[in-house]
């Protein structure tokens, strides 16, 4: 009598939970790698290793240790690898490995990949994944080659090439990790640094779907609605933030006031471009005026683009919120933009995302203020920076106690996997069997 064939076990875990577990697993593996004796110049604690690994996988850039001096070349390479994994997307990386090994990519993998890339459909994901790899490698290699023009003459061939490669990976993935204690402040007036690094993190922050759309169509009228909104929104935010930063900081002796005219313009552009998600800086962030600090916090909440290497609520979410507000006051029944109509479900998703994000930030800030001593503005800035996976700090990251580190790591993690992922994980879908009559609530 033949034995029955054992059925293949299929995971019944929801894709959001699998995504969360995968990110958590890589953070744990990264922490173990950073604890190896040859990863650091001197022994570090598990708290330091876990925080650094979390910051790298979530492509945030907040650091409790100086990356350049506390970690060896091997340790820095581990951090760069974790940044690449986190920016590329762990499921994207896994699917690429399966494809290269000739192994089939099943429907379950497509579901996880769809969740990781924040897509609404599971079709054509493999093609999108391969396109993402091409874009990432091409941009990072070009960026490293251009940065080498600055770093090789200053640090020699060996260290110059490594500095170029590390900062190119960190910039494109919007990580903000630098191998210098003052980030890139030494090159505040260097045109190459001020052009190459921002272009890398702006392009990485647009999102892989935008890059793919531009690569395929190359004509404005044929671009998808998402691409048009991202391009217009990104350009508008860059122009506004550059101008506002220059106006508010022009005479601040601790930031732009100490520089000549040309470096002031370069610094204004660099900080404005970096603030939404990249985390690099060429001036002292702790010396910014309160008005500029508040503007930076707003930009960090907005963040970059969907399916990008950046965080925040995303540029398109912010635009849809503005459009919905405008439509309400104009008494429009529908939301139209670029001759396209947005559905009510998309508007509801935007409202849910914004609400969950605000509640997470307020909750984390409350816990930080209760258990961690520090100036309110510094703590608030650190919390928002963690949520937006930005990495900018007013100099308080190294002073965080255990509770503060746990809160910041949690916010970095949620900011990377997405607030809605957490919401979908906690929520259960139950069909309604009863329909009630409509009622009226007086709002505002």
Each residue of 385-440: pLDDT tens digit?
Answer: 999 999 999 988 988 888 899 999 999 998 887 765 655 555 545 566 777 787 77
* Choice between 416 and 33, residue whose per-residue pLDDT is larger: 33
Q: Which residues contact 330 (CB under 8 A, 6 or more apart)?
A: none
**Paired tokens of 397:** 């990251």
Q: CA-to-CA distance for 63 and 397, rounded, in angstroms?
A: 7
Q: CA-to-CA distance for 166 and 321, rounded, in angstroms?
A: 36
Task: Please list the residues that pair with 203 across neighbouring strands.
Answer: none
Backbone angles phi, psi at 342, to 5 degrees: -90, 135
Report if residue 23 sits inside a domain. Answer: yes
Task: Please list the residues that pair with 337 across neighbouring strands.
Answer: 340
> What is the per-residue pLDDT for 190?
96
Q: CA-to-CA distance for 384 and 283, rounded, in angstroms?
A: 19
Work out the mean pLDDT of the chain and round it to a whole number.
84
Q: How far is CA 178 from CA 2, 127, 368, 419, 433, in A?
A: 62, 32, 26, 27, 55
Which span out of 82-96, 114-128, 261-275 was modeled with the highest average pLDDT? 261-275
Question: Whole domain around residue 171: which residue ranges?
Answer: 15-425
Nearest to 421 by CA among 8, 87, 17, 100: 17
Q: CA-to-CA distance for 284 and 102, rounded, in angstroms?
A: 49
Above 70 in pLDDT, residue 375? yes
> What is the per-residue pLDDT for 211?
80
Arithmetic mean of pLDDT, 145-168 = 96
Report if residue 431 sits inside a domain. Answer: no
Instruction: Say if residues 212 and 223 touch (Cβ distance below 8 Å).
Output: no
Report if residue 175 sits inside a domain. Answer: yes
Arithmetic mean of pLDDT, 57-65 = 92
Report if residue 440 sits inside a domain. Answer: no
The pTM of the full predicted model, rounded to 2 decimals, is: 0.86
Report if residue 119 sits inside a domain. Answer: yes
Report if residue 430 sits inside a domain. Answer: no
Instruction: Say if residues 19 and 91 touch (Cβ distance below 8 Å).
Output: yes
Q: How confident is the model at residue 105 (pLDDT cuts 50, 70, 90)?
A: very low
H-helix or E-strand spanning residue 290: helix 290-302
The proportion of the chain whose per-residue pLDDT surpasses 90, expressed as a percent, equals 52
Cβ burial of 414 (10 Å; 0-12, 13-18, 19+) is buried
pLDDT digits (tens, 9 = 90+) for 313-332: 889 889 999 999 988 888 88
Task: Please list the residues that pair with 335 across neighbouring strands.
Answer: 342
Maximum CA extent, the chain = 89
Q: CA-to-CA distance for 411 and 364, rounded, in angstroms?
A: 7
Would you call 174 helix, strand, or coil by DSSP? Answer: coil
Q: How many domains does the chain have?
A: 1
Report if residue 436 sits inside a domain. Answer: no
Report if residue 438 sits inside a domain. Answer: no
Q: How confident is the model at residue 151 (pLDDT cuts 50, 70, 90)?
A: very high
Above 50 in pLDDT, residue 106? no
Instruction: Say if residues 95 and 116 touch (Cβ distance below 8 Å).
Output: no
Above 90 in pLDDT, residue 366? yes
Arithmetic mean of pLDDT, 74-79 = 97
């Amino acid at each position: 009598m033949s034995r029955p064939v054992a059925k293949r076990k299929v995971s019944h875990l929801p894709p959001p939970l699998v995504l969360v577990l995968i990110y958590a697993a890589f953070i744990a593996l990264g922490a173990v790698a950073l604890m190896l004796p040859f990863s650091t110049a001197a022994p570090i604690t598990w708290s330091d290793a876990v925080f650094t690994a979390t910051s790298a996988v979530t492509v945030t850039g907040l650091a409790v240790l100086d990356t350049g001096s506390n970690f060896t070349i091997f340790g820095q390479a581990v951090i760069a690898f974790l940044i690449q994994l986190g920016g590329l997307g762990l499921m994207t990386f896994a699917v690429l490995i399966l494809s290269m090994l000739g192994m089939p990519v099943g429907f379950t993998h497509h579901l996880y990949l769809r969740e990781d890339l924040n897509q609404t459909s599971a079709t054509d994901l493999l093609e999108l994944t391969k396109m993402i790899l091409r874009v990432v490698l091409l941009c990072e290699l070009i960026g490293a080659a251009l940065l080498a023009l600055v770093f090789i003459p200053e640090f020699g061939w060996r260290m110059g090439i490594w500095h170029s490669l590390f900062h190119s990976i960190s910039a494109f993935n919007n990580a903000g990790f630098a191998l210098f204690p003052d980030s890139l402040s030494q090159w505040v007036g260097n045109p190459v640094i001020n052009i190459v690094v921002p272009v890398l993190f702006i392009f990485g922050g647009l999102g892989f779907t935008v890059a793919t759309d531009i690569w395929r169509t190359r004509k404005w009228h044929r671009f998808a609605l998402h691409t048009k909104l991202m391009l217009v929104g990104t350009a508008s935010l860059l122009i506004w933030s550059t101008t506002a930063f220059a106006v508010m900081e022009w005479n601040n002796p601790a930031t732009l006031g100490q520089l000549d005219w040309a470096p002031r313009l370069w610094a204004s552009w660099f900080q404005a471009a970096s603030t939404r998600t990249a985390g690099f800086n060429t001036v002292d962030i702790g010396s910014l005026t309160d008005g500029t600090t508040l503007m930076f916090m707003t930009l960090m909440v907005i963040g970059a683009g969907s399916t990008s290497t950046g965080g925040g609520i995303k540029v398109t979410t912010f635009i849809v919120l503005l459009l919905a507000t405008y439509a309400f006051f104009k008494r429009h029944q529908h939301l139209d933009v670029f001759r396209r109509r947005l559905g009510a479900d998309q508007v509801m998703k935007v409202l849910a995302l914004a609400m969950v994000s605000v509640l997470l930030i307020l909750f984390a800030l409350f816990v930080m203020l209760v258990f961690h001593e520090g100036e309110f503005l510094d703590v608030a800035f650190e919390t928002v920076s963690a949520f937006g996976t930005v990495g900018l700090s007013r100099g308080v990251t190294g002073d965080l106690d255990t509770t503060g580190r746990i809160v910041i790591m949690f916010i970095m993690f949620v900011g990377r996997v997405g607030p809605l992922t957490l919401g979908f994980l906690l929520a259960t879908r139950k069909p309604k069997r009863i329909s009630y009559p409509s009622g009226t609530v007086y709002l505002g």
